[in-house]
Structure 1
Amino acid sequence: MSGKTRKLIMIMVDGLGIPPESWEKSVFAKFCPSEFVNLFIDNSIPLDAALGVEGLPQSATGQTALFTGRNASQIIGSHLSGFPGPRLKALLKENNIFLELIKRGHSAMFANSYARYPLDLVINTRFASVTSVMLSTFAQKALASEELLSGHAVFHDITRESIAEQFDIPTITPTEGAGHLLNVSLKYDFILFEYFRTDMAGHSGDEEELRIVLKKFSTFLLEIYKNLPPDTGLLLCSDHGNCENIFSKQHTLNKVPLLLVNMEKPDPLPLSITDVYNVILEYFKK
């Protein structure tokens, strides 16, 4: 892909590692269409998520590494789960992929809808996620209910089932959710969508819950893939492994996939999740 105008959709899937038994014999082959499995077989690069630090990789440090290009686990001396503390927040506020792209003249937005609680309320609690901290560094406001209902934002569960009854919001299908994410991408050069139901399903140890989650997500991803415009790249990565191991409720040491569609293969190949930051910047240099 070449030309002046480039767009990129990034999907950060929490807790999705590469199955050591092979994609073909994995839980993904069991619960997802073969097209989903083949997409990863044909278009993904394995990345280290452990970052040379003892222990199981975790979300706060893993996501900070993804979005800043810095080894957050090494910087704070351990892997940190859940939500970023003061040191990680400082790293994210100093620089992140959104800030860097905007500094280089590109438009960017977080595609998740803050339909339940506004960003300015979330950001002042201990439950501010890595992505919320990043969003607060550049955006006047987050995408919210108005954008969600008009099909120009996506709720974190894709289908809105987790908020439908409480907020009287209609549910949608994963296919419709994919269309809404593509709608967001028309307005910005770079968008990020975060999906963490995979990690929750992995922690639950509930095989049926994992089946439901993977079925929804695979439908969503394949619909985006099939309708991706020629000028738009698709990059998917994870912060650590989890849901690929159906026999454990813990995170794993497995490598995570970097899925690249409509994008040139990076040279040299990225080796760890800290390299994703530069893969994105290089894509926009072309």
Structure 2
Amino acid sequence: MALLMIFIDGIGIGEFDRDKNPFARFLSPFFPEFIGHSNGPVAFDGQVVPTDPSMGVKGLPQSATGQTALLTGVNSAQALDRHWPGFPTVTLRKILAEESIFLKLEKSGKKATFANAFSPRYFTRPERSISATTWSVRASSFPFRMIEPELLNGEAIGHDLTNTFLAEMGFEVPIRTPETSAEILVRIAASVDFCLFEYFLTDVVGHSQEMDWAEVELDKLNRFLQTVLSKIDLNENLVLLTSDHGNFEDLSVSTHTLNFVPTVLWGKDRQNFAEKIHQIEDVAGSILGY
């Protein structure tokens, strides 16, 4: 039995407004919930739990604090007395090093992995430019999946689901479809107790306010999720999709939003898991208790 966590950066539950919300303009079977309105059931008998990303701190929720909370269960915004954007501060890195779900899963004898493919040059970045997800894995001894050999061997996936970004960066990698990446992710998840995949282009689109680009990314996500959920055994596994803050759901502004984020659950024991989720800092503890 595995738990697959699909972290999609910067998606909130917004208004049913086709002029500003891509989820309203390009209806998706996986994101049918809007403020005060539902467009129908979630595909594959999924369950949506509106989840508070504010952590009780004023201001717009941000990536570094939100992701740290998701990956540790610690109210990181209160630890800083503010929301923090981008990459983790020294304080947040310390929280991730001590409280990471990867570290705790390892200590409990579980196997965990991060399915995203990395290039060697990523790890030459300054520490202030390393993501929360990366710091979370670094807290453990679980290895990262690299372009070579894992991505080339079909044992890792690119963050954009197609490897187009890596190809444009000059890496010799195969261009894949979202469906193929989904099949790879399901195979990876089957080999461990916990698997994380991170998709952050939704947040980039939200800041760009480009509706045409939003349509492209949402189509990729729909195709990806359709394949993941049709290939994984939902009688034996749990799929968890969540986010750190709103953004993509309101292209009328270039900033993040105050909207709740969707935690969407499919598969084994989803109802019991859903009952434990109220704020984003509830996610990590629920994973550890699954």
CA drift at 1:140: 5.7
Contact 1:20 1:254 in 2 (8 A): no
Instruction: Give unpaired runs (5+ residues) of structure 1.
Output: 1-5
Check conservation: 2:48, 2:265, Cα contact below 8 A: yes
Give the corresponding residue for 2:248: 243
Alpha-carbon spacing, 1:36–1:18, altered in 2? closer, same or farther (3 Å): closer
2:85 equivalent in structure 1:
81
Which digits, 9 at most, give the CA deviation of each residue in 1:35-84, with x for residues without a partner? Answer: 65342795110110011111100000000011111110011100000000
Q: Distance in 1 between matches of 2:258 and 2:210?
A: 21
Structure 1 residues 249, 243: closer, same or farther in 2, change over 3 A? Answer: same
Partners of 1:214 and 1:147 lie apart in 2 by 26
The answer (yes or no) to whether the contact 2:236–2:268 under 8 Å persists in 1 is no
Deviations 1:170-206 (A, max 9, x none): 2111001101111211221101001100000000011
2:257 aligns to what?
A: 252
* Separation in 2, partners of 1:272, 1:171: 37
Output the CA distance in 2 between the equivalents of 1:201 and 1:245: 10
SS in structure 1 at match of 2:239: strand
The structural deviation recorded for 1:100 is 1.1
Q: Is the 8 A contact 1:71 1:274 kept in 2?
A: yes
| One-letter amino acid of the structure 2 residue matched with residue 135 of structure 1 | V
Bigger drift between 77-86 and 274-283 goes to 274-283
The AA in structure 1 aligned to 2:83 is: H
Q: Which residue of 2 aligns with 1:136?
A: 138
CA displacement 1:193-244 (0-9 Å, x = unmatched): 0110000000001111111111111211121111112322100110000001
* Aligned counterpart, 2:37: none
CA distance, structure 2, for counterparts of residue 81 and residue 68 of structure 1: 17
Residue 248 of structure 1 and its aligned partner are, at CA, apart by 1.4
Q: Residue by residue, what CA displacement relative to the aligned partner does 1:80-132 show, whole Å, maximum 9, x if unpaired?
A: 0000010000000011111111111110011111036354x34x532110011
Query: Do the aligned partners of residues 65 and 160 (structure 1) sit closer, same or farther apart at CA in structure 2, a change above 3 Å counting?
Result: same
Q: What is the aligned counterpart of 1:15 among 10, 18, 34?
A: 10
Mapped contact 1:266–1:279 kept (Cα < 8 A): no
SS at match of 1:11: strand
% identical equivalent positions: 38
Query: For 2:197 and 2:86, how far apart are their aligned partners in 1?
Result: 17
Bigger Cα displacement from structure 2, 274-283 vs 131-140: 131-140
Contact 2:11 2:247 in 1 (8 A): yes
One-letter code of the match for 1:161? Answer: T
Q: What is the rounded CA distance, in whole Å, between the counterparts of 1:26 and 1:197 in structure 2?
A: 16
Q: Does 1:272 align with 2:279?
A: yes
- Give the stretch that moved more between structures: 37-46 or 98-107: 37-46
Residues 1:186 and 1:269: Cα distance change in structure 2 (over 3 Å): closer
Deviation at 1:22, TM superposition (A): 8.4
The whole-number CA distance in structure 1 between the counterparts of 2:153 and 2:236 is: 24
Q: Residue in 1 aligned with 2:215?
A: 211
- Answer with 78-87 or 37-46: which moved more: 37-46
In 1, distance between residues paired with 2:91 and 2:74? 13
Q: Is the contact made by 2:182 and 2:224 (CA closer than 8 Å) also made in structure 1?
A: yes
What is the rounded CA distance, in whole Å, between the counterparts of 1:34 and 1:111 in structure 2? Answer: 24
Q: In 2, are the aligned partners of 1:36 and 1:222 still within 8 Å (CA)?
A: no
161 and 136 in structure 1: CA distance in 2 versus 1, 3 angstrom threshold: same
Could you tell me whether the CA contact under 8 Å between 1:32 and 1:215 is conserved in 2? no
Whichever residue aligns with residue 261 of structure 1, its letter is W
Query: TM-score, normalised to structure 2's length?
Result: 0.89
Q: Root-mean-square deviation (CA), in Å?
A: 2.1
Structure 2 residue 122 is the aligned partner of structure 1 residue 127 = no
* Contact persistence 2:182–2:227 (CA under 8 A): yes
Return the alpha-carbon distance in structure 2 between the equivalents of residues 157 and 209 of structure 1.
Answer: 13
1:281: which partner in 2?
288
Contact kept? 1:64, 1:130, Cα under 8 Å: yes
Separation in 1 of the partners of 2:265 and 2:56? 25
Query: Using the alignment, how far apart are the partners of 1:250 and 1:105 within structure 2?
Result: 41
How many residues in Structure 1 have an aligned counterpart in Structure 2? 275
> Residues 60 and 140 of structure 1: is their aligned pair in 2 closer, same or farther, counting only changes over 3 Å?
same
